[in-house]
């Protein structure tokens, strides 16, 4: 009889422990959250999450995936620079960076390893918007804050930081439609990003939605991987195969696309692109010749806001589950050397790295002093 009761008690205790473990992780709480000017909720339906407060300083890891383009390289450099800024470095006991490539399993394995090592927060650009449930459960069980940014996840179980990628695609489309005036037919070149990512998907959907509304454009899609060299090649191939385009949109690798236009002697047409310094230099140089463009910034500095959000969550502050960062944009008529582009910096430098509402600015000098190598 005693043995039966003991076994029953053990079963009940085990169930209680399992239930407790399942309930680990952030609580859903009421807003507003910490520093709402910086950590702005995506919309009025965004919920708020709160993790148990931990004593600092903290162990923080960046788990990047793909690192084969200049945006990702600058992002890693920015993360390293931000971790050393005054007011940040005092909060970080150990900081590691790793890039795992485009294999989802490799990225999941790296995140699990950091969780099992006892890290407090993991900031990541997800290789895929799906497949992270296992890691999220492990993080919740160990009270680890996971913050995807840029390429985010199709879930509301973790805090995420991003610009509205769907809206960015619509911005590309609206500006291009405005430049084309009454024209509603012709070929448009769409240079897409890295396949399988939520950023590429959402920008594409937003752009196509605007361009296909009451118009009949033939949109030629090519894959540029957000990389200047790749984008230049596929644009050159597209020009050779399809002839003249009425307009171009490029998610990343904008400098390479303009160079392909020059090399292929393609007439200047409106181009909506990213915030690469080289693209803005070319717009400033050739604007008087007829090159019209808009440069819309998805800043590598998003990593700093994601890190700032992770540290705030570790301090026990309520945080929006999805944090919205404004989308900066400059047209060819608004470019000023030393203000929103730099003639003395490399083409592959991304120009938007200051977030005034967050009191965060990572200078070009700080960023360029770092490298993109793994530190684990």
At residue 24, the pLDDT reads 78
Long-range pairs, 333-339, Cβ under 8 A, ≥24 = 333/287, 335/280, 335/283, 335/284, 335/287, 335/295, 337/284
Residue 21 pLDDT exceeds 50:
no
CA separation, residue 85 to residues 71, 166, 304 (Å): 21, 32, 11
Per DSSP, helices labelled H in 277-361 are 277-286, 302-314
- Write the pLDDT tens digit of every residue in 118-174: 999 999 999 999 999 999 999 999 999 999 999 899 999 999 999 999 999 999 999
- Write the pLDDT tens digit of every residue in 221-237: 999 999 999 999 999 99
What value does the mean pLDDT take over residues 182-201? 94
Residue showing tokens 């700032």:
308
Residue 12 pLDDT exceeds 90:
no
- The Cα 15–Cα 55 span in angstroms is 29
Element at 263 (helix H, strand E): helix 254-263
Residue 13 pLDDT exceeds 50:
no
Cα torsion 11, 17, 18, 19: sign: positive
Q: For the whole model, what pTM was predicted? A: 0.82
CA separation, residue 166 to residues 117, 144, 202, 206, 270 (Å): 36, 29, 5, 5, 21
- Write the pLDDT tens digit of every residue in 239-275: 999 999 999 999 999 999 999 999 999 999 999 999 9
- Tell me the pLDDT of the chain averaged across its residues: 92
- Full strand arrangement of the beta sheet holding 48-50: 27-29, 48-50, 319-320
- The Cα 272–Cα 295 span in angstroms is 6
At residue 18, the pLDDT reads 42
**Bridge partners for 59 per DSSP:** 94
At residue 14, the pLDDT reads 46
**Bridge partners for 175 per DSSP:** none
At residue 57, the pLDDT reads 98
Do residues 127 and 196 make contact, with C-beta atoms less than 8 angstroms apart?
Answer: yes
At residue 376, the pLDDT reads 67
* CA gyration radius, the chain: 23
At residue 9, the pLDDT reads 42
At residue 68, the pLDDT reads 84
A 10 A CB-CB count for 338 gives 8
At residue 4, the pLDDT reads 34
Q: Which two tokens stand for residue 324?
A: 């919205």
């Amino acid at each position: 009889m005693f043995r039966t009761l003991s076994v029953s008690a053990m079963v009940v205790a085990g169930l209680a422990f399992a239930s407790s473990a399942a309930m680990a992780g952030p609580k859903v709480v009421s807003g507003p959250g910490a520093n709402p000017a910086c950590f702005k909720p995506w919309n009025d339906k965004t919920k708020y999450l709160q993790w148990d407060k931990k004593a600092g300083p903290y162990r923080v890891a960046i788990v990047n995936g793909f690192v084969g383009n200049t945006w990702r390289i600058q992002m890693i450099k920015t993360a390293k620079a931000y971790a050393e800024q005054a007011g940040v470095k005092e909060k970080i006991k150990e900081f590691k960076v790793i890039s795992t490539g485009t294999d989802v399993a490799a990225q999941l394995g790296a995140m699990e390893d950091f969780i099992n090592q006892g890290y407090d927060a993991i900031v990541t650009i997800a290789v895929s918007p799906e497949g992270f449930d296992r890691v999220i459960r492990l993080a919740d069980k160990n009270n680890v804050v996971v913050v995807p940014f840029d390429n985010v996840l199709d879930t509301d179980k973790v805090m995420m930081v991003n610009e509205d990628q769907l809206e960015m695609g619509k911005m590309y489309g609206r500006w291009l439609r405005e430049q084309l005036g009454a024209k509603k037919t012709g070929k448009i070149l769409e240079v897409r990003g890295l396949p399988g990512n939520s950023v590429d998907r959402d920008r594409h959907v937003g752009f196509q939605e605007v361009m296909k509304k009451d118009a009949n454009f033939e949109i030629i899609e090519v894959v540029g991987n957000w990389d200047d060299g790749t984008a230049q090649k596929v644009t050159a191939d597209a020009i050779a195969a399809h002839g003249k385009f009425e307009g171009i949109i490029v998610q990343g690798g904008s400098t390479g696309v303009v160079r392909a236009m020059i090399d292929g002697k393609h007439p200047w047409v409106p181009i909506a692109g990213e915030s690469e310094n080289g693209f803005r230099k070319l717009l400033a140089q050739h604007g008087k010749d007829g090159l019209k463009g808009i440069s819309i910034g998805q800043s590598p500095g998003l990593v700093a806001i994601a890190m700032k959000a992770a540290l705030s969550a570790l301090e026990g502050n309520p945080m929006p589950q999805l944090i919205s960062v404004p989308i900066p944009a400059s047209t060819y008529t608004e470019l000023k050397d030393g203000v929103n582009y730099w003639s003395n910096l490399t083409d592959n430098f991304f120009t938007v790295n200051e977030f005034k509402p967050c009191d965060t600015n990572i200078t070009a000098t700080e960023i360029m002093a770092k490298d993109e190598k793994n530190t684990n």
